[in-house]
Amino acid sequence: MEKTRRTFIKKMTTAGIAAAGLSIAGNASAVETSITETQQKKKAAGKDDGKLRFGFIGTGSRCQEHINNVLAISGNKIVAICDIQKGPLERTLKHIAKFNVPEPKIYTGSERAFEQMLNNEEFDCVIIASPWEWHVPMSVAAMKAGVPYVGVEVSAANTLEECWDLVNVSETTGSHLNIMENVCYRRDVMASLRMVREGLFGELLHGECGYEHDLRDVKFNDGTQYNYKKGGELRMGPTAYAEAQWRTQHSVMRNGDIYPTHGIGPVAHCMDINRGNRFLSLTSMATQSRGLHKFIVDNGGENHPLAKVRFNLGDIVTSMIKCANGQTIIVTHDTNSPRPYSLGFRIQGTEGLWMNDGDHVYVQGKSKPHLWDDSEEWFKKYDHKLWSTLEAQAKEAGHGGMDFIMMYDLIDCIKNKKPAPMDCYDAAAWSAISGLSEMSIARGGALVDFPDFTRGQWIHRKQEFAL
């Protein structure tokens, strides 16, 4: 059984990660970059045409979406891209060529090629869209290289140690780390945030959120697409992108909320986390692990080799967080079950609440007693100014337009030399749910304390997100 498990891990993750363009590294604190040149020397050697200089590390489909939005906003250019997988690099170059802009420099050839790129080029912003294991090592390297703004995809970190690495290096270097949490810019999420800030729900009491998304197909697509034949072998054919090359390993090895930021980010903004409030403690529990095994057996048969693999990730992981100002938050992770997609938002206060599932709003004194309002009319009235002014430009962007709004907000901060919209403290606090939930579950649901990544500054820090 252990031999089969090791074979699965090798096939579905380690070797697959290399195919995806990157491989697993150790803790970010152990990462030492080989960068020796200063940012000033690079600037002296370059040509400054006034455009913001972007670099991209990791060139999969997520990178291409970011490129769309960077180039859709005037005043930007792509200096260089980095990956070690030939296919994504070629597809990304073809994608960039559609915009009729100069071809960026290519860095490839080894899993540390990103260090060479950071050493050789000057950037205003580097976007990291690599497998999770590389988010912190690459972010740390970029900040140490003097990149003023570093955007890292979600989740930003996997362990508490990695969370501290992001905070410590950002503070030491002065580089602005921004977690690229696009759901914070979803139109209904931003409207609900405005309603919170204008006091419609009164004093906030409770929030709910999560990542409830059937990813069974994703987790078993390792660079090939399965054509299932019930009771028989898993037949395969080529496909372009394969998250299973790195993502599936987390379901094999870990048991916790391994992807919390889509849910917790918007709730954290509503509750002013790190800006007058903070997460104090967490307790987590997980159900038994059944969904992935059942999926294999149902589609490949009981004798399929993967049917012998033991998955550690519980099908449903539930965490409860206590906040310094008294609120509670429930966060749910569910990616192994047959279900429609939902982030399960609920923002509730002393005067009313919003519930994402069912699109419900209730405001005391304005809604009919004991009856839900459809959220659409409320959200039209409280549409956030970023959406009301940028709707036409965002219309064709990914994820319903929120990707464009997110990039626009980041670029506005870069141009005006403002702090990152969602900074290193947000990246650390939101991502820390992963490590803390694993710790709590391993201890039978024990209460664990949240680190204060701001070192006490949360009391005085002011809210700046999407004002």
For 383-400, how does the pLDDT look when each residue is reduced to its tens digit (9 = 90+)? Answer: 999 999 999 999 889 899
Distance CA 355, CA 2 (A): 44
Residues linked to residue 57 through DSSP beta bridges, in sequence order: 82, 128
Q: What is the mean pLDDT of the chain?
A: 88
The answer to whether 299 and 228 are in contact (CB under 8 A) is yes
Q: What is the pLDDT at residue 199?
A: 98
Residue 7, pLDDT score: 40
Q: What is the pLDDT of residue 43?
A: 52
| Measured CA distances, 375 to 54, 349, 360, 394, 421 (Å) | 38, 16, 5, 21, 26
* Nearest CA among 52, 34, 50 for reference residue 117: 34
The pLDDT, as a whole number, for residue 64 is 94
| CA 351/CA 195 separation, integer angstroms | 11
Residues facing residue 347 across a β-bridge: 207, 354
Q: Percent of the chain scored above 70 by pLDDT?
A: 85
Peptide bond preceding 155: is omega within 30 degrees of 0, i.e. cis? yes
* Residue 71 one-letter amino acid: L
Q: What is the pLDDT of residue 296?
A: 93
Buried b / exposed e over 113-129, threshold 16 CB at 10 Å, is bbbbbbbbbbbbbbbbb
Res 384: pLDDT: 98
**pLDDT beyond 90 at 336:** yes
User: 274-308 pLDDT, tens per residue?
Assistant: 999 999 999 999 999 999 999 999 988 999 888 99
User: Residue 220's pLDDT is what?
Assistant: 85
pLDDT tens for 54-98 read 999 999 989 999 999 999 999 999 999 999 999 999 999 999 999
pLDDT digits (tens, 9 = 90+) for 399-439: 999 999 999 999 999 999 999 999 999 999 999 999 999 99
Predicted confidence band of residue 41 (pLDDT cuts 50, 70, 90): low
How far does CA 101 lie from the centroid of its chain? 28
400 half-sphere exposure, CB direction, 13 A CA radius: 9
Q: What's the confidence (pLDDT) of residue 222?
A: 56
For residues 123-144, average pLDDT: 97
